[in-house]
Amino acid sequence: MPKYRLVINIMILLGLLAGMHLVSGRLQRLTPPREAVLTTPANSSTSGDQSSEPPAREQNPAGSGVTGQAVSGTVPGTNRNRLQPNELGKVMILEYHLIGDKEDRWERQYDNFRKDLERLYREGYRLISLVDYLRNSIRVPEGYTPVVLTFDDGSRGQFNYLEKDGQKVIDPRSAVGIILDFAREHPDFGTAATFYTLYPPFGQARYWQEKVRFLVEHGMDIGNHTANHVNLAKLSAAEVAKEVGTPVKTIREVVPGYEVKTLALPYGLLPKDDAPVREGEFAGVPYRNLAILLVGAEPALSVNDSRFNPYRLPRVQAIQSELDRWLDYFARHPEERYVSDGDASTITIPEKALARLNPRAAAGKTVKTYR
C-alpha cells in the first residue's frame, strides 16, 4: 500500500470515528461480479461545463482494516429481490424544457413524457425533491433509486389549464397533469418536481400566480432561472444580484414565506466569481441557493461522495437519446446507481468505496459497509 494511500485511509478513519458510526457487515452479492474496468458513455456535447470523467474505481479498498462493529450475515431489512443498496451511486437530475405535441431538441412530446415516467417507475426509480437530495434526506424504499425532475423556462405545456364550462381543469397533456395522473395510478412514484420558470410563467398570464401556489401546495418547487434568462457570466456582481434576487422577491409576493432554494443557470454559464449567484440580497430580500444547476450532461454524484459539488450540479437532458443512453447505462451497471437502503439515517455503501465517502455528509448517520 503506497504511503499516501495509508495516510488518506488514516485521515478517513479519523473522520469516520469523529463524526459517524461505522458498521461493517457483509451483504449478499445480488449482482454479478463487477467488471474490473467500468466504461462510461462519452461526455455529451451539451455541457461544456462539467467533465464526465468516470469515478476512479478503488483498486486498493480503503475500507480494509476499517472494521468497526462487525455485523455478521446480511444487513437487516435487505430486500433480496431488489438492487443492493449503494448510497455512493449516482443520481439523475432530469432536465426537461418544452412539453408539447412534437419531439425536438428542447421539446418532449407529452405521450413520450408519460412513457419516461413509466420506464423510470418500471426500472426502479422513484421521484424525490431536489432539496431532499441536497440535504441528504432521500426517502425511497430500500432497493430503489431516487430520480429528480426539473423543468426549465416555465412554458405553457409544463402547466396548462383547460377551460370547460367556466371551470378550469389541469390539461392532462401538460407535464403537471401527467405527473399527477401517473401518481394516482402509482402513488409510490411520487410527484416531486422543480420548475425553473421565467415570468410570468406557464403562459396564461392571468393564472400564473394561481399555478405557482398550486405547485407549492402540491409539494412541487419553484426554482430560480434568473429574471431575464441572462448569461450571468457577462454581468457585474450588482447585476447578478438583481437577476437572481428579482424572482425570489416575486415568488415571495405570491407565496409568502416561500424560499427559492436552487438556481438553474441559463445557458449553463456562470461568472468566474460565483459568490453573488450563491447568495446575496436584492431590494431588501436575501437569497441563498443550495445548488447551482448546469445544463448538461451526466448523472450527478451522491451527496455522500467527497467530490460532490452542489454549485456545479450536472443534469441529464431529458430527450430520447440521452434518456436511453443513461437508463441503458444504469441497467448495464447497476452498481453505478444510487440505490437506497430505505433508511435516511444510515448510509450503506460497498466497503471498497469507503475512501470516497465524505465524512461531513455522514456526520450523525450510521455508515454500513459490505464487501
Least Å distance, CB 154 to Zn ion, is 9
CB atoms within 10 A of CB 69: 9
Comparing CB distances to Zn ion, the nearer of 195 and 330 is 195
Residue 298: Cβ-neighbour burial (10 angstroms; 0-12, 13-18, 19+): buried
Is-contact 159 176, C-beta < 8 A?
Answer: yes
CA distance 240 to 280: 9
The angle at the Cα of 167, spanning 164 to 171, to the nearest 5 degrees, equals 65
- Footprint of Zn ion on 91-130 (CB under 5 A): none
Comparing CB distances to Zn ion, the nearer of 293 and 354 is 293
Nine-digit cell string for 246:
428579482
CB atoms within 10 A of CB 318: 22
Comparing CB distances to Zn ion, the nearer of 153 and 336 is 153
Q: Is 6 helix (H, G, I), strand (E, B) or coil?
A: helix
Comparing CB distances to Zn ion, the nearer of 62 and 265 is 265
Comparing CB distances to Zn ion, the nearer of 265 and 357 is 265
**Which helix (H) or strand (E) segment is 180 a member of?**
helix 175-185
Least Å distance, CB 276 to Zn ion, is 19
Least Å distance, CB 363 to Zn ion, is 35
Q: How many residues bind Zn ion (CB under 5 A)?
A: 3
Least Å distance, CB 275 to Zn ion, is 22
What is the x/- site pattern for Zn ion, positions 224-263, by CB under 5 A?
----------------------------------------
Within 8 A by CB and 6+ apart from 286, the residues are: 279, 280
Least Å distance, CB 169 to Zn ion, is 28
What is the x/- site pattern for Zn ion, positions 125-154, by CB under 5 A?
---------------------------xx-
Least Å distance, CB 338 to Zn ion, is 26
E-strand stretches of 21-142: 21-25, 69-71, 92-96, 98-100, 107-109, 125-127
Query: Which residue in the block uniquely carries the three cell numbers 426509480?
Result: 125
Least Å distance, CB 265 to Zn ion, is 8
**Alpha carbon 325 to its chain's center:** 18
CA distance 250 to 252: 5
Residue 353: Cβ-neighbour burial (10 angstroms; 0-12, 13-18, 19+): buried
- Footprint of Zn ion on 176-215 (CB under 5 A): none
CA distance 49 to 297: 9
**Which helix (H) or strand (E) segment is 146 a member of?**
strand 145-153
Comparing CB distances to Zn ion, the nearer of 95 and 142 is 95
Within 8 A by CB and 6+ apart from 179, the residues are: 117, 149, 191, 193
Comparing CB distances to Zn ion, the nearer of 258 and 267 is 267
What is the x/- site pattern for Zn ion, positions 256-285, by CB under 5 A?
----------x-------------------
Give yes or no for residue 351 binding Zn ion (CB under 5 A).
Answer: no
Residue with the CB atom nearest Zn ion in the bound state = 152
Least Å distance, CB 253 to Zn ion, is 22
Least Å distance, CB 228 to Zn ion, is 11
Comparing CB distances to Zn ion, the nearer of 89 and 266 is 266
Comparing CB distances to Zn ion, the nearer of 152 and 351 is 152
Query: Which residue in the block uniquely carries the three cell numbers 456535447?
Result: 45
Could you list the residues that contact Zn ion (CB under 5 A)?
Answer: 152-153, 266
